[in-house]
Amino acid sequence: MVRSKRMILIGSSGQNTGKTTLVKAFIKVWKGRFPIAVLKITSIAEAGVLCCRGGCGCGACGNLGNLPFILAEERGEAPEKDTGALLDAGADHVFWLRSLYSALAEGYSAFLEKIPKDALIFCESNSLREVVHPGCFIMLINSAHPAMKPTAARVLALADMVVQNTRRPEDLERIVLRIQVKHDPAGDLRVSLGC
């Protein structure tokens, strides 16, 4: 397991739990203090399959070819996408990692090579928690949709914080204020959960 002390990892029970909204709230607080890198992950069980959500989806599941992962830096060409919104919020770098489950650690290592060594990292993924131990892992639960994705169920017990329904500004502020980001005695950036 890779240790990534400078990462805030955000998982979720399903879609539309407010992951990107929470990352934008964090960026608002921390931009200007540290370089900010965001990683969005699409985990794929096997190459060449159709979308796990049915239909064509985003195309990530079927376009890896023979590669274990594809890592692309998003430049904001599609501002309506989450990645464009994250750049508009102030992120310095936003990457999209499309990866086989078996190559997540390798894909994450490739991401680390492309960002500044002192960047604060935000990542939206359940699956990455199985190969990376972040500074803080937040699991978002949408109580209106009680069914939990299998990837979320596998890592729920590893969450440092479990939060339901994060749509209200005061909920976001409460979460953001609990996270501490500072340099440790060795000068490395470290994320931790405060009281």
Q: How far apart are CA 39 and CA 18, in angstroms?
A: 16
Q: How far apart are CA 119 and CA 33, in angstroms?
A: 10
Q: Looking at residue 53, what is its pLDDT?
A: 47
Q: How far apart are CA 49 and CA 176, in angstroms?
A: 37
Q: Are 182 and 160 in contact (CB under 8 A)?
A: no
Q: Are 107 and 40 in contact (CB under 8 A)?
A: no
Which tokens belong to 44? Answer: 């794929």
SS3 at position 141: strand
How do the pLDDT tens digits run along the chain, 195 residues long?
A: 899 999 999 999 988 788 888 999 999 999 999 999 999 999 887 655 554 444 454 555 556 878 999 999 988 665 557 777 899 999 999 999 999 999 999 999 999 999 999 999 999 999 999 999 999 999 999 877 778 999 999 999 999 999 886 667 777 888 899 999 999 999 999 999 886
Domain ranges in the chain?
Answer: 2-193
Longest dimension (CA), the chain: 50
Q: Looking at residue 195, what is its pLDDT?
A: 63
Which tokens belong to 131? Answer: 């190969």
Q: Looking at residue 85, what is its pLDDT?
A: 86
Which tokens belong to 134? Answer: 């972040």
Q: How far apart are CA 44 and CA 61, in angstroms?
A: 6
What is the C-alpha end-to-end distance of the chain, expressed in Å? Answer: 26
Q: How far apart are CA 166 and CA 47, in angstroms?
A: 33
Domain 2-193 part of CATH 2.60.40: no
Q: Looking at residue 78, what is its pLDDT?
A: 57
| CB-neighbour burial class of residue 138 (10 A; exposed 0-12, middle 13-18, buried 19+) | buried
pTM: 0.89
